[in-house]
Structure 1
Amino acid sequence: MPLVIVAIGVALLLILMIRFKLNGFIALILVALAVGIMQGMPVNKVIESIKNGVGSTLGSLALIMGFGAMLGKLLADCGGAQRIATTLINKFGQRWIQWAVVLTGFTVGFALFYEVGFVLMLPLVLTIAATARVPLLYVGVPMAAALSVTHGFLPPHPGPTAIATLFHADMGKTLLYGTLLGIPTVILAGPVYTRFLKSIDKPIPEGLYNSKKFTEEEMPGFGVSVGTALVPVILMALRAIAEMILPKGHPFLAYAEFFGDPIMATLIAVLIAIFTFGLNRGRTMDQVTDTLVDSIKIIAMMLLIIGGGGAFKQVLVDSGLDKYIAGLMEGSNVSPLLMAWSIAAALRIALGSATVAAITAGGIVAPLIASSGASPELMVIAVGSGSVIFSHVNDPGFWLFKEYFNLSIGETMRSWSGLETVIALCGLVGTLLLQYVV
C-alpha cells in the first residue's frame, strides 16, 4: 500500500506540473502534504516533516549553490569563460575543433550552470561554425554534451549536489567518480554521436554569432581563468584522495577535510575570484557586489524546488517508507543502481525537469542505500544520469536547443534528445561497472 500511495503522489505531481503548469516548488509541497496524510501521519507531523526536510536539504546546499553561482557569474562577467574557450580553440586548430569545444564545455561546465554555460558558449560555437564552415551541430552537439554531463554527474551542479546531500554521499568522491565516468561519456555523446547527425546541416541563425565579445585587454589570462574556476574541484579532489590514502588521525587529513569541504572550497574560490575576476581587472567593489547579487537570482527558484524535493523526501522517510522499502529489498536481486536510474529516468521523461526528476527519485530510493549497502556516490551518479534521459517537448532545454540551432522538432529529437539518452545510458553502464572496483 505505501508504494501505491507514492505512485499516487508522483501521478499528482505530474498532473500539477504538466496539466496545470503549477510551479515545481508549490507542486512538491502540495504532494508532500497529500502523501503524508494518505500515509496516515498526523497533520501537525506532516508540517513538521516538511519543515525539517526543507531545512536539512538546504542547510549546506544553499551555501554551496550560492557560492557556485557567484563563481560562475564572476567568471562570465569578466570574460574568463571566453578566454578559456578561445585559447583552447586556437591551440587545437580546425581539425580538432570538436575536441576543443568538448574540453571548453567540460572546463566551463564545472563552474557554470547548464543554461548559463549554454548561452555563454553559444556565440563562440556559432562563430566557429561560420568561420570553419562546418555544420552547426558538428560543434554544437559536443558543446551541449559536455555541459549536460557536468550538469548531470558533477557537483556543485544542483541535481548531483542535492542528491549527494540526500544520500549523505561524500562530495569529493562523487566528483572523482563523476569525472571518471564523465570523460568517456562526453566523448561518446559528443564527437562520436555527431557522426550520426551528418544529414542535419542547418544554416546559422543570422546575427547570433555577431554578438559583442570581450577584447583581448578586457579578458584575464588563461591560467588565471582556469585556475580560479577549478579551485573548488581541486580542493575537493585533494580531500577525497587524502581520505583514501592517509590513515585516520594523520595531521594533514584534518586540513584536507577542512579546505576540501564543499562549502569551504567554493567560498575560497569566490574570494579568489573577487580579486582575480574583479578587483584585479579594474572593477570596483560595488560592481563586484552587483555581480554577486545578480548571481543569486539565477538559483533562487532552483533552491526552492530542491527544498520542496527535500520536503517530499522527509515525508516519505517519516511515514516509514524507508523501512517498508528496506523490507521489500531483503533478498532482492535487483541492482539498487539500476532501480535508482530507472525511477529517475521515468520521472525525467514524464516531468521534463532533470533537477525535479533527480530530487524526487532521490527521495524515493534513498532507503535503498542503507538496506543494500550500495555506494552512495555511485547512487548519486545513477540518479543523475537517469534524470537527463530523452529530453523532449516538456523540457525547456529541448526548446532552447531547437531554437538556437534552428532545428525542426524531429531534428531536435534526433540530436538533442539522442545525445541526452546516450549520456543517461553511459552513466548507467558506467556505475554498474564501477561498483565492482570501488
Structure 2
Amino acid sequence: MLIITVLSIVLVILGVSLFKWHAFISLTVASLFLAIFSGMSWDKIVLGYETGVGGVMGHLVGILALGTILGKMLAESGGGTSIANYFIKIFGPKMLPWAMFISGFVVGIPVFFEVGILILLPLVISIHHASKKNILLIALPAIAGLSIVHGVIPPHPGAIAAISIYGANLGTVLFYGLIVAIPSGIIAGPLFAQWIHKRVIPVNEPKLIEVEEKDPATIPGPGLSSFVILLPVILLLFGSFASFLTKNAAVQHVFTFIGSPLVALLISVFVAYILLGFRLGNTKDQIRKFTEDSILPVGSIIIIIGAGGAFKQILIDSGVADVISRMAIHLSLSPLILAFVIAVLIRVATGSATVALTTAAGIVAPIVSHMTGVNLELLVIATGAGSLFASHVNDAGFWMVKEYLGLSLKETFKTWTVLESILSVVAFGMVLILNVFV
C-alpha cells in the first residue's frame, strides 16, 4: 500500500515535470492509478473521485471566483499603486525596503501572486530609476510580501483548499497566519534584501512593463483602497469571534453569517463595485467585463484543487490512509513535520505551490483524522509554508521574477530561490513555536 502511494505521488511529479501534463491531468491519472492498484472495486473508483471533487469544490468555487473579482477591481482601479505610493511617501527613501514589503503584503491579500507582481513592478522599476538604488533592495521586499500572503493567508486558493480539506477554522487560520507571515516576510524581505543587494548587483536593466497611465484624480486613495482590501478579512474575523463580540444569540448568528467566507467576499465585491467601480466613473458594462476577465483564469486553479480533493478521497476509500496513519502513529511522526516535508518535496518536484499545498493536504488529512490533539489550523499553515520552498526553473514565478527584474539565471537562484526558501523555513519555524503555546 505504501509503495503504491509513493508511486502515485511520483506519477503526479513526473506528469507535471517530465511529460508536461497539466496538473489536473497528472492528479487525475495518479488518483485512478492509486485506486486501481490498491484494490478498490471498479464501481467505487469513479464514485470516489466524484465525491472527492464535489467535497472540496462545493465549498470553494464561489470563494475563489469572488476573491479573484475583488483583486481585479483593485488592479483596474489603480488601488494597489495608490497604497504602494502612500507607504513610500510615509516611510521615505531610507526605509524603501520596509515600504515595499508592506505594500506587497497589503496588496497581496486579495490578488494572486502573478497579478500582484504586475501591479507593483512598474512602481518598483520607476523607483529604481529615480533613486539609482539596486533594484533588489526595492523589489525583493515587495515580492516577499506578496509570496508569504499567497502561501499561508486566506482567501488565497491554496490556503482555502487546505482549510477545506483539513476541516480547519478559517478565522483561526487567518489569525495564526498573520502571526506567522509578518515576521517571516520581514526576515526574507527587507532584512534579506539589505544583505543580498550588496553581494548581487544585476548587470541587466529590468524589463519595462507597459501600464495604462491613469489620471491621478481617478485613482482611489490609499485609505479607500486599504478598506476594500481589508474588508473581507474584517468580516471573516467577525464571524470567527462572534461569540466574544456579543452574547445575543440572534446577533451572533448574523455575525457568523456575514463572516462566512462566501458572504464576506460577496459583500466585499459589491463594496468594490461601488467604491472602486461606479464611484470612479466605470459603467456597468465595464464592471461586467472586469468580472468576466477575472473569472476566466481561475478555471485552471479550480480544476487542480478539485483533482487534489479527489486524490484525498481515493486515499481514504482505498484504505491507504489507514495504513499510512498507523505507520505515522507508530513512528511518532509529528503531522506538522509530515505535512511540511511532503509539501516541500512536491513543490520542488512540480514547481507549483498550489499543487504542492493541495496534494500534501490530501495525503495528510486522512492520516490526522485518526489522531488526537492535532492543531488543524497550524497544519494548514505548515503545509502552506512547505509549498513555498525553493522555487526554481519549473516554477512560473521564478521566470517572472527573472525576466522582469533583468536577472541572470544564477542571480535569480541567489535571490528569488533563496528568498522563497527563507520564507518557507522561517514560517515553519514560527508554526512549531506557536504549536508549543496553542
Tell me the TM-score normalized by structure 2: 0.96
Structure 1: 5+ residue runs without aligned partners?
A: none
1:38-437 correspondence runs (5 A): 38-197=37-196, 198-202=198-202, 205=205, 208=208, 211-243=211-243, 245=244, 250-370=249-369, 371-437=371-437
Structure-2 change in CA distance of 1:355 and 1:200 (3 Å) = same
Rounded Cα–Cα distance in structure 1 between residues aligned with 2:96 and 2:5 = 48
Rounded Cα–Cα distance in structure 2 between residues aligned with 1:426 and 1:252 = 39
Deviations 1:324-343 (A, max 9, x none): 23322335432110111011
Instruction: Decide whether the 8 Å contact of 2:340 with 2:386 is kept in 1.
Output: yes
Deviations 1:268-325 (A, max 9, x none): 0001111111111111111100000000012111111111111111111111223223
Structure-2 change in CA distance of 1:52 and 1:376 (3 Å) = same
Structure 2 counterpart of 1:434, one-letter code:
L
Rounded Cα–Cα distance in structure 2 between residues aligned with 1:274 and 1:102 = 27
Rounded Cα–Cα distance in structure 2 between residues aligned with 1:218 and 1:247 = 40
> What is the aligned-residue identity percentage?
38
Q: Which moved more, 1:208-217 or 1:316-325?
A: 208-217
Deviations 1:191-215 (A, max 9, x none): 1111331222225636616644322
Structure-2 change in CA distance of 1:362 and 1:95 (3 Å) = same
Structure 2: 5+ residue runs without aligned partners?
A: none
Q: Which moved more, 1:353-362 or 1:252-261?
A: 252-261
Rounded Cα–Cα distance in structure 1 between residues aligned with 2:221 and 2:264 = 22
Superposition deviation, residue 250 in structure 1: 3.9
Rounded Cα–Cα distance in structure 2 between residues aligned with 1:271 and 1:320 = 45
In angstroms, what is the RMSD of aligned CA positions? 1.6
Structure-2 change in CA distance of 1:204 and 1:117 (3 Å) = farther
Rounded Cα–Cα distance in structure 2 between residues aligned with 1:191 and 1:173 = 27
Structure 1 counterpart of 2:75, one-letter code:
A
Structure 2 counterpart of 1:45, one-letter code:
K
Q: How many residues of Structure 1 are paired with residues of Structure 2 in the alignment?
A: 436
Instruction: Decide whether the 8 Å contact of 2:135 with 2:405 is kept in 1.
Output: yes
Q: Which moved more, 1:70-79 or 1:317-326?
A: 317-326
Q: State the SS of the aligned residue for 2:436.
A: coil
Instruction: Decide whether the 8 Å contact of 1:336 with 1:372 is kept in 2.
Output: no
Superposition deviation, residue 248 in structure 1: 8.2
Structure 1 counterpart of 2:307, one-letter code:
G
Instruction: Decide whether the 8 Å contact of 2:308 with 2:362 is kept in 1.
Output: yes
Superposition deviation, residue 398 in structure 1: 0.9
Instruction: Decide whether the 8 Å contact of 1:369 with 1:375 is kept in 2.
Output: no
Structure-2 change in CA distance of 1:5 and 1:247 (3 Å) = farther
Rounded Cα–Cα distance in structure 1 between residues aligned with 2:206 and 2:97 = 22
Q: State the SS of the aligned residue for 1:110.
A: coil
Q: State the SS of the aligned residue for 1:373.
A: coil
Q: Which moved more, 1:321-330 or 1:273-282?
A: 321-330
Q: Does 2:31 align with 1:32?
A: yes
Deviations 1:75-126 (A, max 9, x none): 1111111111111111111011111111111110001100110111110011
Superposition deviation, residue 428 in structure 1: 1.1
Structure-2 change in CA distance of 1:248 and 1:322 (3 Å) = farther
Q: Does 2:3 align with 1:10?
A: no
Q: Which moved more, 1:88-97 or 1:234-243?
A: 234-243
Rounded Cα–Cα distance in structure 1 between residues aligned with 2:13 and 2:421 = 21
Rounded Cα–Cα distance in structure 2 between residues aligned with 1:95 and 1:404 = 24
Rounded Cα–Cα distance in structure 1 between residues aligned with 2:365 and 2:113 = 25
Rounded Cα–Cα distance in structure 1 between residues aligned with 2:267 and 2:206 = 41
Structure 1 counterpart of 2:186, one-letter code:
I
Structure 2 counterpart of 1:310, one-letter code:
G
Rounded Cα–Cα distance in structure 2 between residues aligned with 1:163 and 1:284 = 37
Q: State the SS of the aligned residue for 2:105.
A: helix
Instruction: Decide whether the 8 Å contact of 1:73 with 1:292 is kept in 2.
Output: yes
Superposition deviation, residue 368 in structure 1: 3.3
Q: State the SS of the aligned residue for 1:264.
A: helix
Structure 1 counterpart of 2:413, one-letter code:
M
Rounded Cα–Cα distance in structure 2 between residues aligned with 1:388 and 1:435 = 20
Structure-2 change in CA distance of 1:199 and 1:290 (3 Å) = same
- In structure 1, the partner of 2:20 is 21
